[in-house]
Structure 1
Amino acid sequence: MMNTFLRHLAKITLAGSIALGVATIAHAEDKIVRIGFQKYGTLILLKTKGQLEEKLKPQGYTVEWTEFPAGPQLLEALNVGSIDFGTTGEAPPIFAQAAGAPLVYVGYEPPAPEAEAILVPQDSPLKTVADLKGKKVALNKGSNVHYLLVKALEKAGLAYTDIEVNFLPPADARAAFEKQAVDAWVIWEPFLAAAEAATGARQLANGSGVVDNHEFYLASRDFLDAHPGVVDTIVASLGEVDTWINANRGDVADQFSPALGIPADVLEVAVERRKYGVKPITPEVVAAQQKIADVFHDLGLIPAAIRIADAVKKPQS
């Protein structure tokens, strides 16, 4: 009888130990902050400086960084739970929200309309956006430049259907552009400045007078709900880096360059075309995003109408 009792007690103890181990692993995983970044913006400097890790370490958190070629790919990772936080331009969160991604807008950078443009080869006969009629134009589907193209065409009196759109990520688009397999390329910084420097490409138009080109910071809803203080720490740290950038413009390109593998003189151009100073989402910014979402819905680019306000972080009470 005693042996049976001891065997039963051992099973209970083993089960409890396994459960505790699983709980411990789960708790440890909860302490990992997974951040997605791209080859631009404040997030990559935050990664380089390491100050977020310093702030979160006393709370037991570690930070994992993953690079993405563009915003749509980054938000797909957020949608499937591979990352918790990231940054994109205006269009990607609209496409992602329309696809049901559980994202939340938690901050934005000032408008930077000159940081995206429609490029053509140096020797191209195309001189204006109106000349794009019937031409092949490359862009990353669902990226911030998608809206630039729509509005630039509209301003030039063309419909979106008047051109042939080729959806290509930046690296493939650059290759197609250099081979002149496409007539134009709609792209953002720092790819924009890099292409201009390397190929002598010309701008048909940039976002000035056409689009705002905001940069947004987004978190997964589950992560924000479970770790609101961590999200606040990330945004506050981004604000500190933005303040440093504005006070040290001459040093920014040198710090970006090793992380990006792009020459500092090229990055100086890209940095000057952007504005820095993260802020909470405002009703005006929500309205601007809603306008973009409505345009995409009208064009059939997203399957259903969405409400941007449903995906905005609520003010703390």
Structure 2
Amino acid sequence: MIFTGSAQAEQTLRIGYQKFNSLNILKSTGALERALAPEGIRVAWYEFAAGPQLLEAMSTGAIDLGHAADAPSVFAQAAGKPVVYLAAEQPYPKGIGILVSKDSPITDVAGLKGQRVATGRGWNAQYLLAVALQQAGLSYKDIQPAYVSNAADAVAALQSGSVAAATLWDPFLAAAEQKQPVRNLRDGEGLTNNRTFYLSTAAFADTHRALLHTFFSELAKASTWANAHPKDVAQLLAPQLGIDASTLEVASSRRNYNAVAITPAIVAEQQRLADTFQGLGLIPHAIRIQDAVYPATVVP
């Protein structure tokens, strides 16, 4: 939280978001701004290409609150960034995938052995790749990861033929499936719940508990509406995100936007993810997810 002037009445809540999430919907409605205006709080929104960049900004104090997927959240904790879990969205396993070109001779995940695969460090789709390889009797070391920093670069690498496969998440996954000659070898169904988490710092949450309650109350209203109106969500977000409505409708129809409190079962999910990455040597040491869970409930 920053001050835009000397008075308490000139506070600004800084929220980080990525393309396609309930935060996009909340931003579009203006409901949070209306709810906070009587308290003299304005809202500033900052878009990030992916979770790792958003969480880096949070750790340096550039934003107060935001969302990221399961894997970036684990990588941030492993790197010692002072971020805490506030809430989680519902499972979204079909929102991630491993794509190959439509005419690729690769027909299953086992066929990725020895191949170059475009993915990002700390992506939710990187975790999908790791556990899908394990299920196929392979390990992460059996492929050649080609690390990229955003979804556009992953798609470009697949299109150029410099990689045999690419990992993606919605809405970029839906866009590729709708617009590109690709096949989805594997989504997250049965492998990973692919949750989105809402995160902040303990210092911010301790000081602004009432504000967080207002934030999650308004988010719940937007999410409930979104779950019932995927077509309307697509029409609402298309101009904001620069992605066509038909693609967004596909992505939205396979998602549940509602946020819930962090439960022991969700902590266990994240712990399995963290242990997998640590076992692969992708994070330097073991971590305890519970240590990064904010101890107070902020979801109404």
Establish whether TM, by shorter chain, passes 0.5.
yes
Corresponding position of 1:292: 273
Q: Which residue number corresponds to residue 133 of structure 2?
A: 153
Mapped to 1, the partners of 2:159 and 2:113 lie a distance apart of 20
Partner of 2:41 in structure 1?
61
In the alignment, does 2:211 pair up with 1:241? no
Q: Which runs of 5+ in 1 are unaligned?
A: 1-22
Aligned pairs for 1:1-317 within 5 A: 25=5, 31-168=11-148, 169-315=150-296
Distance (Å, rounded) in 1 between the aligned partners of 2:4 and 2:22: 34
One-letter identity of the residue aligned with 2:289? I
- Superposed CA offset, 1:39-84 (max 9, x none): 1110011111111111111111111111111111110111111111
Structure 2 contact 4–11 (Cα < 8 Å) conserved: no
Report the Cα distance in structure 2 between the residues aligned to 1:185 and 1:29, rounded to whole angstroms.
48
One-letter code of the match for 1:149?
L
Q: Percent identity?
A: 47
- Could you tell me how far apart the structure 2 residues matched to 1:29 and 1:82 are? 20
The Cα shift of 1:200 comes to 2.3
Compare 151-160 and 287-296 and name the one that shifted more. 287-296
How far 1:277 moved relative to its partner? 1.3
Secondary structure of residue in 2 paired with 1:286: helix
Instruction: Specify every segment of 5 or more residues in structure 2 that has no aligned partner in the other structure, as ranges.
Output: none
Give the 3 Å change call, closer, same or farther, for CA 224–210 of structure 1 in structure 2.
same
How many residue pairs get matched? Answer: 295
Greater shift, 221-230 or 125-134, is seen at 221-230
SS at match of 2:199: strand
Contact map agreement 1:70 1:140 (CA 8 A) in 2:
no
1:291 positional shift: 1.2
Q: Quote the Cα distance in structure 2 between the aligned partners of 1:231 and 1:182.
A: 43
Show CA shifts across 1:246-269 (max 9, x none): 222331111111111111111111
> Greater shift after overlay, 300-309 or 28-37?
28-37
RMSD (Å), alpha carbons = 1.7
Structure 2 vs 1, CA of residues 253 and 34 (structure 1 numbering), >3 Å: closer, same or farther? same
Provide the rounded CA distance (Å) in 2 between the counterparts of 1:234 and 1:94: 24
Return the offset for 1:26: 6.0
Q: Deviations over 1:113-133 (max 9, x none)?
A: 011000001111111000000
2:259 is paired with a residue whose SS is: coil
Structure (1/2) with the larger helix percentage: 1
Of the structure 1 ranges 307-316 and 210-219, higher mean CA displacement relative to structure 2 is found in 307-316
Paired with 1:62 and 1:302, the residues of 2 have a C-alpha distance of 37
Contact kept in structure 2, 1:107 and 1:235, CA below 8 Å: no
How far apart are residue 24 of structure 1 and its match? 8.5
Provide the C-alpha distance between the structure 1 equivalents of 2:10 and 2:159, rounded to a whole number of angstroms: 45
Q: CA deviation at 1:209?
A: 1.1
1:198 maps to amino acid: K
Asked whether the equivalents of residues 110 and 278 of structure 1 are also in contact (C-alpha less than 8 Å), the reply is yes
3-state SS of paired residue (2:262): coil
Q: Equivalents in 2 of 1:277, 1:93: separation in Å?
A: 19
The corresponding residue for 1:6 is: none
SS at structure 2 position matched to 1:58: helix
Residue number in structure 2 paired with 1:15: none
TM-score by length of 2: 0.94
- Bigger CA radius of gyration: 1
Letter in 2 for 1:81: G
Amino acid at match of 2:272: K
* Cα deviation, residue 315, structure 1: 2.9
**DSSP 3-state at the match of 1:124:** coil
The code of the aligned residue for 2:153 comes to D
Report the residue type matching 2:56 in the other structure.
E
